[in-house]
Amino acid sequence: MALIFLIILYVPQTNSQEKGLQNTENFLSLLKQKSGIEIQLDDVGWSWKEQDFYGTSDQGGVTFSDSKWLMYLIHWGPIQVQKITVDYVRTRMLDMWGVKFDFSGKQGEMKVSGHDAVWVEAYGTNKSFYTRFIIWNCPQSGREFIADTNYNIRLKTPEKDFDSERRSAQTVSCHEGSMPDKFPDLTRKFHSERYGITYFYPEQWFLLESPFYVPFPQYEGIRDRKMGSLLALPSDQNLQVTLKWYPFLEEKEEMVMGIDQKISESLSKEIESQEDVQSFKNQGFETFLISGKKVYKIWGNYKLKDLEEKEKEFYTGDGIYGVSQWNLKEKGKKIVVILKTRKFSYSGNISSPSRHFQDEFLKELVCQTK
């Protein structure tokens, strides 16, 4: 079982990850030194090296990247004990995956669909990941439910993602007439009459049948309303950022049908210039204001050039991109940002990255650039 859990939390080592997780403060200091640009970034374990910087203070660029990992499972099966206790949850955790957990001491009670639930948190596998089990009985359906929530610590996966797992568990509707919690940012809905379960999760995740065993002794290989397991993974598992700066030039806007063709072509050339991009297809052009700065943006899908052998088992060779530009008049610069996210395959299922998480990152970056 320990091997199974290592597979569950496995993340392939990409080229960017091989650089190691570098100090974000040093990166920001070096960026200011080389370009005069000041930005703020959350320390999520950005991968970069000094050779990633190129050009001069007038015109140059840098590429940096981030990877993260979480796994969110919902298991259900026959009620095992009449009263859920902290000791029972701990025993469940130790027996389920064969991992020697280091319990953090954080534990408590909560409500899910009106039922009393107990949660326990722990570190796993030499503190490489952190987990929280939330377990409750649903007498109406005769089932025990387990929300098995995990996030990778070594990759500095944001704790807000771990919190989203908890909140998703609170949306589980396990019997007819239940009234679970609702959260405005959990916009995707899973509903199955066959499994008798409904819940919500973030747009940044994708859902699949769990490729692992169903953790109940009565399980005989049939997944249905009585017993089953579902897995959610992060479609925003990876993000590559290329930040460029150019001399600022006052350009007259020439909009036709809401599109400035000159700027659109310029942004298209930016994605075309990426060394790992084989082809791309623009899907849109838009302009908007962020903190008083006018931003021009294109977005679409791209296909990568040949992947390295070690990447082919995980990445599909496709992805989504967004290319944006805005002016920093006070610094006499035009800023261009290229965001790319690769799709990956997990147990035959393909991730479905959306523009949403790239858009959120862009907004924060524009606000924090000066």
| Co-location of 300 and 158 in the same domain | no
Tell me the HSE value of 209 on the side-chain side, using a 13 A CA sphere: 11
Q: Among 202, 234, 266, where does a domain finish?
A: 234
| Co-location of 248 and 225 in the same domain | no
| Co-location of 26 and 48 in the same domain | yes
The enclosing domain of 164 has a CATH number of: 3.40.1000
> How many Å apart are CA 239 and CA 344, to the nearest integer?
12
| Co-location of 230 and 81 in the same domain | yes
**Three-class secondary structure of residue 275 per DSSP:** coil
Domain count for the chain: 2
| Co-location of 14 and 163 in the same domain | no
Q: What is the pTM of this model?
A: 0.90
| Co-location of 244 and 284 in the same domain | yes
| Co-location of 206 and 268 in the same domain | no
Q: Among 187, 213, 234, where does a domain finish?
A: 234
Q: Among 199, 234, 269, where does a domain finish?
A: 234
| Co-location of 171 and 209 in the same domain | yes
Q: Which domain holds residue 289?
A: 2-68+237-367
Residue 309: burial class (beta carbons within 10 Å; 0-12, 13-18, 19+): exposed
**One digit per residue, pLDDT tens: the chain, 370 residues?**
443 444 455 555 444 444 445 688 999 999 999 999 999 998 888 999 999 999 999 999 999 999 999 999 999 999 999 999 999 999 999 998 888 899 999 999 999 999 999 999 999 988 999 999 999 999 999 999 999 999 999 889 999 999 999 999 999 999 999 999 999 999 999 999 999 999 999 999 999 999 988 999 999 999 999 999 999 999 999 999 999 999 988 777 777 766 778 999 999 999 999 999 999 999 999 999 999 999 999 999 999 998 888 888 899 999 999 999 999 999 999 999 999 999 999 988 999 998 999 999 999 999 999 9
| Contact (Cβ atoms closer than 8 angstroms) between residue 299 and residue 308 | no
The enclosing domain of 284 has a CATH number of: 3.40.1000.10
Tell me the HSE value of 101 on the side-chain side, using a 13 A CA sphere: 24
Q: What is the DSSP string of 58-96?
A: SSEEEEEEEE--EEEEEEEEE---SS--HHHHHHHHHHH
